[in-house]
Structure 1
Amino acid sequence: MSTTTLSPQALAQACADAMWADDHATKHLNMELLSVDAGKASIRMRIAKHMLNGHGTCHGGYMFTLADSCFAFACNTYNQRTVAQQCSISYLTPAFEDDELTATAREVSRAGRSGIYDISLHNQRGEHIAEFRGLSRTIKGSLLPDSQP
């Protein structure tokens, strides 16, 4: 069966499975992929003691990494290798040890080789922690082999 016959959700899941297999950074931080669909993804991560900065709050780099991983899974749902072209994050309120942060990505626009994705981070109480915007760029190659019938 060709990957072109898969539903958008099945293709997104197959792409996520292929990426997850080699994503050592995301797995090392004990992130959990909650869901994926065309142009969308959701990932959760618990804040551990080693992620705290000198203020006793979660280091912004870990929150950025969570959002960036979610961005990567969302923009790679079409079986076209896609990378970050530019990203920015706004930190709204701190996260603390044992907080469980969930990043939720949604595609805003996708045209040609470029895409725009917004990723919101919330804690387990539903508090809005940060907002990330990623600009993607499609490069050569695919995530899945396309087996012909």
Structure 2
Amino acid sequence: MTPEERARRSAAAMWRSDAASRWLGLSLDAVGPGWARMSFTVAPHHLNGHGICHGGYIFTLADSAFAFACNSYNRVAVAQHNTISYISPARAGERLVAEAREVSLQGRSGIYDVTVRGDGERIVAEFRGCSRIIKGTHFDEQTAPEVDRAIEGGDT
């Protein structure tokens, strides 16, 4: 199994159980070893009292991209610590794209940076997530069924 296949299968297994991301309308667009890209469109119900996207939704998008990136090795990883800096507001109708990239993975601890961009590649937020690998895997690598359609244009 290639690292790319492992990342896709790990993501497909997680996506099936990720009711929160699906319910919020997030889309898992792409994943690979140590990285992931997710997106969603800001709807009127995502707006706060200032008429801009509530920071909690932006944080959730970044946190979910971080989760898929740090779980891409078929080793269960959880968040240890996260921070976010909001750079510019997102508006209703805007498509937000979060790209998570691994900065460091040493032993069981990882650091991931996530950039959330809006229209015109404008940076909306910068997120840093620290992960910790715990016991468990997302799938049995010995059975190796077909890669799920969740990442290959199917059920995202």
Task: Name the TM-score, length of structure 1 as normaliser.
Answer: 0.94
Q: What residue in structure 1 maps to residue 116 of structure 2?
A: 121
Pick from 69, 76, 84: which aligns with 2:71? 76
Distance in 1 of aligned mates of 2:60 and 2:108: 23
Deviations 1:70-95 (A, max 9, x none): 00000000010000000000000000
Secondary structure, counterpart of 1:68 in structure 2: helix
Given the alignment of the two structures, is residue 59 of structure 1 paired with residue 54 of structure 2, yes or no?
A: yes
Secondary structure, counterpart of 1:97 in structure 2: coil
Given the alignment of the two structures, is residue 98 of structure 1 paired with residue 69 of structure 2, yes or no?
A: no
Given the alignment of the two structures, is residue 14 of structure 1 paired with residue 12 of structure 2, yes or no?
A: no
Give RMSD over aligned pairs.
Answer: 1.1
Q: What residue in structure 2 maps to residue 3 of structure 1?
A: none
Deviations 1:16-71 (A, max 9, x none): 00000010010011111111000000001101111100000000000000000000
Distance in 2 of aligned mates of 1:124 and 1:80: 34
Given the alignment of the two structures, is residue 34 of structure 1 paired with residue 29 of structure 2, yes or no?
A: yes
Task: Name the TM-score, length of structure 2 as normaliser.
Answer: 0.90
Q: 1:147: Cα distance to partner?
A: 2.4
Q: Percent identity between the aligned chains?
A: 49
Distance in 2 of aligned mates of 1:88 and 1:128: 16
Q: What residue in structure 1 maps to residue 39 of structure 2?
A: 44
Given the alignment of the two structures, is residue 112 of structure 1 paired with residue 107 of structure 2, yes or no?
A: yes
Deviations 1:83-116 (A, max 9, x none): 0000000000000111100000000000010000
Code of the aligned partner of 1:129: V
Structure 1: stretches of 5+ with no match in the other structure? 1-5
Structure 2: stretches of 5+ with no match in the other structure? 145-156
Given the alignment of the two structures, is residue 25 of structure 1 paired with residue 20 of structure 2, yes or no?
A: yes
Task: Detail structure 1 runs of 4+ shifted over 3 Å in the superposition.
Answer: none
